[in-house]
Amino acid sequence: MSLRTDADSIIREAIEAVLPDRAVMKALGELKLPDRDGKVYVVAIGKAAWQMACTAQRLLQGKIEKGVVITKYGYAKGELPGFQIFEAGHPVPDENSFEATGYAVSMVKDLKAEDQVIMLISGGGSALFEIPLCDSGSLQDITKQMLACAADITEMNVIRKRISAVKGGRFAQIAAPAQIYAVVLSDIIGSPLDMIASGPVYPDASTNEMAWEIVRKYHLKLPEDVRKLLDMETPKQCGNVTTKITGSVDELCDAAADACRKLGYEPVILTSSLNCIAKEAGSFLAAVARKYQDSKKTVAFIAGGETVVRLTGNGLGGRNQELALAAAQGIGETRDTVIFSVGSDGTDGPTDVAGGIVDGHTAELLKEKGWDICEALRRNDSYHALEACGGLIKTGPTGTNVNDVACILIKR
């Protein structure tokens, strides 16, 4: 059972390292806010906005002139001294999004060069933080067209940024000449700063020309006001912004590696941007585990990212559970080896668990209980298979979301 205990403590420590409060504390500590004459304002947006603001408020007690929290309905947990708290629509922006964003804009639009804005950005910010430059009918129309033609998220953002008053670096322009310190809790692999919350304080890498190319590609029919907006270029520089990414899947992997090291494992981070099919990733990791069976070292291999489930049945499960179950098939007969995979938000697919954990006995145990792993994977029923062999990992909702981490532990 010692491997399972090790796994539990690695999972706990890795997730704790990327919780919003820890992440904000670490980032603000590293940012070393200069002691300036100006005033400090806080704008917190996204699903973790309230927790992030709460931590900032505690850390910078008395130094904050004014703050605003814009989060999803039900995600605010009470008042914060000096803060205006808004809840708004997600994933579809609503009037509250526009009102809240308007409040943030009015708060920062007349600042001086010695003032500072602390932006606390988390996933979900795209919908919550928005003021459209076109009328709301046009916005809905163009959104529907893009969804209908299956434009990808990158393409949608190229258009969206151009019809927004705050996205694509425009909020940074509004707050200038004040200095902005952005702390970003990343929920997108690779942490592309212009994608997270649509990059309100990050220079936009896309161009008007790219926007028009997308319009032509999908034969989008643009309302007249949107046509004009597509000719207005977004900021290509945000000289007044310093950004600190925190709580990313990279930190999740690093924290897992630290936890492994503390327990005597020699950790190797294989990747922090895994994006292949979940059960193939499980098969790959099992193949790695087999290679190190004869090694005399206590080792750990860590792979962070977000795999993909291909639906071929209507069972219950999630990408982390599929990865683990597929790995079980490949590590039958290995000894003193476990493979686990968990989502840092504590929720894997539409289930009440964070992921799955398997070892060299799992495949045999399942066979004894009448389970066929291939068939369970085909039915996407990893939850029930893992339930049958004690392979489910429950953490409860963690309050953060920075993708997943999978890990091979081999103890000698």
Q: Out of 24, 49, 146, 288, which residue is the one contacting its own copies (CB under 8 A)? A: 288
264: DSSP letter: T
Residue 404, SS3 per DSSP: strand
Least separation in angstroms between residue 178's CB and its own copies is 31
Which of these segments, 89-97, 223-231, 281-289, 391-399, binds its own copies (CB under 8 A)? 281-289
Residues 6+ apart with CB under 8 A from 367: none
Q: Out of 234, 272, 334, 401, which residue is the one contacting its own copies (CB under 8 A)? A: 272
- 276 near its own copies, rule: CB under 8 A: yes
Give the tokens for residue 216: 């032509």
Least separation in angstroms between residue 373's CB and its own copies is 14
Which of these segments, 43-51, 174-182, 226-234, 270-278, binds its own copies (CB under 8 A)? 270-278
Q: Out of 64, 139, 269, 389, which residue is the one contacting its own copies (CB under 8 A)? A: 269
Dihedral Cα 313, 315, 319, 325, nearest 10 deg: -100
- Output the CA–CA distances (angstroms, integers) from residue 372 to 111, 316, 329, 392, in the order listed: 64, 15, 10, 17
Q: 174 with 235: CB under 8 angstroms?
A: no
- 290 near its own copies, rule: CB under 8 A: yes
Element (H, E) at 274: strand 266-274
**Strand pairing category for 83-88 and 179-185:** unpaired
- 270 near its own copies, rule: CB under 8 A: yes
Which of these segments, 146-154, 170-178, 223-231, 276-284, binds its own copies (CB under 8 A)? 276-284
- 410 near its own copies, rule: CB under 8 A: no
Binding residues for its own copies, rule CB under 8 A, total: 22
Least separation in angstroms between residue 155's CB and its own copies is 15
Q: Can you tell me the distance from the alpha carbon of 98 to that of 79, in angstroms, rounded to the nearest whole number?
A: 21
Instruction: Map the footprint of its own copies across residues 23-42, applying CB under 8 A.
Output: none
Which of these segments, 94-102, 122-130, 275-283, 366-374, binds its own copies (CB under 8 A)? 275-283
Q: Out of 141, 233, 280, 336, which residue is the one contacting its own copies (CB under 8 A)? A: 280
Q: 403 with 344: CB under 8 angstroms?
A: yes
Place of tokens 């969804």: 147
Q: Out of 274, 328, 357, 366, which residue is the one contacting its own copies (CB under 8 A)? A: 274
Task: Tell which residue, 325, 342, 330, 254, has the closest CA to residue 289.
Answer: 330
Least separation in angstroms between residue 219's CB and its own copies is 19
Q: 374 with 382: CB under 8 angstroms?
A: no
Task: Tell which residue, 273, 291, 284, 271, has the closest CA to residue 410.
Answer: 291
Give the tokens for residue 340: 């686990």
Contact letters for its own copies, residues 319-348 (x by CB under 8 A): -----------x------------------
Which of these segments, 38-46, 165-173, 202-210, 265-273, binds its own copies (CB under 8 A)? 265-273
Q: Find the distance separating the first CA and the last CA of the chain, reported in whole Å.
A: 14
Q: 247 with 23: CB under 8 angstroms?
A: yes
Q: Which residues pair with 301 in a beta bridge?
A: 268, 408
Task: Tell which residue, 66, 40, 43, 61, has the closest CA to residue 53.
Answer: 43
Residue 22, SS3 per DSSP: helix
Least separation in angstroms between residue 326's CB and its own copies is 9
Q: Out of 148, 232, 287, 374, which residue is the one contacting its own copies (CB under 8 A)? A: 287
Of 5 and 295, CB closest to its own copies: 295
Q: Out of 25, 31, 156, 268, which residue is the one contacting its own copies (CB under 8 A)? A: 268
Q: Out of 25, 156, 165, 277, which residue is the one contacting its own copies (CB under 8 A)? A: 277
Q: Out of 143, 207, 242, 283, which residue is the one contacting its own copies (CB under 8 A)? A: 283
- 153 near its own copies, rule: CB under 8 A: no
Positions touching its own copies (CB under 8 A) are 190, 268-277, 280-281, 283-284, 287-288, 290-291, 303, 305, 330
